């Protein structure tokens, strides 16, 4: 079973979370950092007088949520055993969250965290996020190859996609397409050759994580959601100009595991080789990056030329993963169709979400270089 040792080098901020948020009662801000803590652990560490006062503020005659939360955070700062992690906060998020904390504005104070291993106090990039990006690239390449060899097949799928008017119907067509190309019409997971591709998780040191505001960029360049506060934990990247993490993980290609399913033998030849995998990644994500750079040039300035050259080196590919990778990166080439916020059918999104660490720089989310040894 081939096991490839890989490195992922973030070029721009990356956020992969579990869809949860942390609220005002889960963190405190101090010295330009956000520290997340366990409220129950803080309660246990309080003195009897502090605990009595806190409970009175929550449920007594002088109920005051603002003062209760203030006391909780003050006690948390004195109880490092309750801390889960502590990360740097960018200026835009720092100011907005400080105001939310002061005014107890719950929605403005929400923070979208990464996935964390609390015991090790380090973030985790799940292998499933990388595997999903690989799968989409392989499927997209398969569509292009099949459509080139059989133009009528391509035209028929385009016709069926245009004819479908309901989002659920489009989702069913996407599932059917994947079953046809990857599983030869079988819906069961046992028939999927891609199940033999395994990607391990990657550890992220907490000093390589930062909290910044995410901003929506409309087609005319304006911030399409000025009043919406979106604060996301994200990986530091080469776009930040300093040290960026190099995340290590493995990709295993189990091409010989015939014993898993007796009917899988004809499909094992479809398990990708390393070289084919890298070829598909570069094909899929480079053409997406080029197209996006044409439409949103303010997000793609220097040093992208150097990064693309690095992506063309041996055993290296460009990839995009995580939140705000946008619809195009999650769909296949030539067969893209979705509804926008106005419920109109489109083949390209009209906006992008970017990270602004200082209120001026604009960095798209999700781009990285994948190196396979």
Sign of CA dihedral 8, 12, 13, 14: negative
Q: What is the pLDDT of residues 153-177, one digit of tens each?
A: 889 988 888 888 888 888 888 888 8
Residues 6+ apart with CB under 8 A from 90: 210, 211, 212, 213, 356, 357, 358
How is residue 355 written in tokens?
């990270």
Write down the pLDDT at residue 235: 97
Residue 62 has pLDDT above 60, yes or no: no
Domain edges within the chain? 3-15+126-154+189-372, 24-106
Q: Report which listed range, 5-14, 64-73, 247-256, 265-274, is most confident.
A: 5-14
Residue 268 has pLDDT above 50, yes or no: no
Q: What is the pLDDT of residues 215-248, one digit of tens each?
A: 888 766 555 555 567 899 999 999 998 878 899 9
Give the residue among 209, 228, 202, 208 at the shortest CA–CA distance from 217: 228
Please list the residues that pair with 320 across neighbouring strands.
367
**Residues present in the chain in total:** 373
Write down the pLDDT at residue 314: 86
Write down the pLDDT at residue 60: 62
Residue 351 burial (10 A CB sphere; 0-12, 13-18, 19+): middle
Q: Are 327 and 349 in contact (CB under 8 A)?
A: yes
- What angle do helix axes 48-59 and 65-77 make, rounded to 10 degrees? 150
Write down the pLDDT at residue 336: 73
Q: What is the DSSP string of 103-124?
A: HT-TTTT-BB--EEETTTTEEE
Beta strands at 209-217 and 352-356: parallel, antiparallel or unpaired: antiparallel
Residues 6+ apart with CB under 8 A from 22: 36, 110, 111, 113
What is the greatest pairwise CA distance in the chain?
Answer: 78
Q: Are 9 and 316 in contact (CB under 8 A)?
A: no
Q: How far apart (Å, rounded) are the C-alpha atoms in residues 279 and 286?
A: 11
Q: Could you count the other beta carbons within 10 Å of the beta carbon of residue 337? A: 17
Residues 6+ apart with CB under 8 A from 171: none
Residue 165 burial (10 A CB sphere; 0-12, 13-18, 19+): exposed
Lowest mean pLDDT, pick from 59-68, 194-203, 231-240, 277-286: 59-68
Supply the pTM of this predicted model.
0.88
CA Rg value for the chain: 24
What average pLDDT does range 15-22 have in this prediction?
A: 93
Looking at per-residue pLDDT, the higher value among 138 and 193 belongs to 138
């Amino acid at each position: 079973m081939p096991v490839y040792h890989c490195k992922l080098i973030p070029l721009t901020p990356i956020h992969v979370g579990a869809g949860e948020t942390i609220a005002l009662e889960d963190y405190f801000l101090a010295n330009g950092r956000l520290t997340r803590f366990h409220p129950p652990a803080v309660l246990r560490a309080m003195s009897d007088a502090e605990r009595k006062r806190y409970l009175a503020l929550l449920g007594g005659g002088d109920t005051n949520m603002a003062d209760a939360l203030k006391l909780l955070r003050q006690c948390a700062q004195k109880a490092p055993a309750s801390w889960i992690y502590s990360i740097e906060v960018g200026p835009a998020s720092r100011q907005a969250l400080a105001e939310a904390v002061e005014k107890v504005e719950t929605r403005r104070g929400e923070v979208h965290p990464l996935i964390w291993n609390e015991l090790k106090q380090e973030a985790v990039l799940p292998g499933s996020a990388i595997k999903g990006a690989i799968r989409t690239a392989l499927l997209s390449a398969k569509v292009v190859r099949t459509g080139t060899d059989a133009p009528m097949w391509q035209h028929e799928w385009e016709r069926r996609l245009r004819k479908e008017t309901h989002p659920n119907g489009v989702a069913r067509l996407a599932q059917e397409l994947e079953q046809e190309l990857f599983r030869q019409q079988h819906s069961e997971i046992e028939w999927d050759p891609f199940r033999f591709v395994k990607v391990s998780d990657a550890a992220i040191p907490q000093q390589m994580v930062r909290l910044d505001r995410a901003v929506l960029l409309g087609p005319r360049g304006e911030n399409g959601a000025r009043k919406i506060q979106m604060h996301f934990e994200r990986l530091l990247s080469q776009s930040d100009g300093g040290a960026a993490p190099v995340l290590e993980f493995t990709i295993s290609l189990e091409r010989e595991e015939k014993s898993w399913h007796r009917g899988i033998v004809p499909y094992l030849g479809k398990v990708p080789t390393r070289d084919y995998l890298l070829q598909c990644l570069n094909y899929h994500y480079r053409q997406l990056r080029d197209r996006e750079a044409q439409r949103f040039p303010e997000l793609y300035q220097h040093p992208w030329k150097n990064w693309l050259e690095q992506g063309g080196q041996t055993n290296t590919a460009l990839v995009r993963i995580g939140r705000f990778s946008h619809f195009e990166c999650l769909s296949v080439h030539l067969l893209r169709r979705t509804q926008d916020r106005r419920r109109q059918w489109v083949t390209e999104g009209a906006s992008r979400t970017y990270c602004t660490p200082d209120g001026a720089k604009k960095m798209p989310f999700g781009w990285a270089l994948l190196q396979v040894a």
